[in-house]
Amino acid sequence: MLSETLATGLAEYRIGPKIREFRRNKKLGLAELSAHTGLSPALLSKIERGHIFPTLPTLLRIAMVFGVGLDHFFVESERSAVAVTRSKDRIKLPDRPGNPSPAFLFESLNFPLQDRRFEAYLAEWPVGRAPAEPHRHDGTELVYVLGGRLCVTIDGDDHQLEAGDAICFDSGATHCYRGEGRSTARALVTVMP
């Protein structure tokens, strides 16, 4: 069972309607397409109506009948610029993979959006953790503290932030974060390349 976010993201590619359009342009019935692909007419009908999404091997079998590559089904000029990211579908990741005691955890807030012009994250710094490793990357970063206390160190200078405070800086400068105080610090972090 797909989550609502994944189902919505896949539906935007309009795979089923593209298959139906190919089939009708070739003047094929579902039974004829079934004979060419080895897939049942019922399965093909469900795919065309968007009730199920085909696996890549299944989609490749269909694509081969029409002489197109898989990319045809995923390149779309009409993709929506709207992406809803449900809280239940986000994955909390540590600052470094496999770190048993991460300095911070983050969740991407705009991962389903194609051609993102910026990255948005919800980040948490649990109480009593070591500071994050200093790092740098291209772009501009904005940190808006939602709760708790956060120290952002930029090129060796500490900046103490509390709920409601924000800091914006050139993320090409070496920077790191650490939560301070008695509660988990939470912030909205955006990075624009």
Q: Across 1-5, 57-61, 87-91, which has the greatest mean pLDDT?
A: 57-61
Per-residue pLDDT of 23-61, as tens digits, reads: 888 888 999 999 889 999 999 999 999 899 999 999 999
pLDDT at 86 exceeding the cut of 60: yes
Q: Quick one: what percent of the chain has pLDDT higher than 90? A: 52
Model confidence band, residue 81 (pLDDT cutoffs 50, 70, 90): low
Q: Coil, strand or helix: which one is 4?
A: helix
Q: Do 42 and 74 touch, CB atoms closer than 8 A?
A: no
Could you state, in order of their start, the residue ranges of all structural domains in the chain?
4-74, 90-192
pLDDT at 77 exceeding the cut of 70: no
Tokens of 157: 């200078």
End-to-end CA separation in angstroms for the chain:
35
Write down the pLDDT at residue 76. Answer: 58
- What's the topology of domain 90-192? Jelly Rolls (2.60.120)
Per-residue pLDDT of 113-136, as tens digits, reads: 766 788 899 999 998 898 889 999
**Could you tell me which CATH class the domain 4-74 is placed in?**
mainly alpha
Mean pLDDT of the chain: 89
Model confidence band, residue 78 (pLDDT cutoffs 50, 70, 90): low
Contacts of 8 (CB under 8 A, 6+ apart): 84, 112
pTM over 0.85: no
Model confidence band, residue 188 (pLDDT cutoffs 50, 70, 90): very high
Q: Which of 11, 6, 33, 22 is nearest to 72 (CA)?
A: 22
Per-residue pLDDT of 90-104, as tens digits, reads: 888 888 887 888 999
Q: Which of 9, 190, 192, 172 is nearest to 117 (CA)?
A: 192
Type and span of the H or E element at 45: helix 41-48
Print burial letters for 27-37: b (CB count within 10 Å at least 16), e (below 16). ebebeebbeeb
Model confidence band, residue 11 (pLDDT cutoffs 50, 70, 90): confident
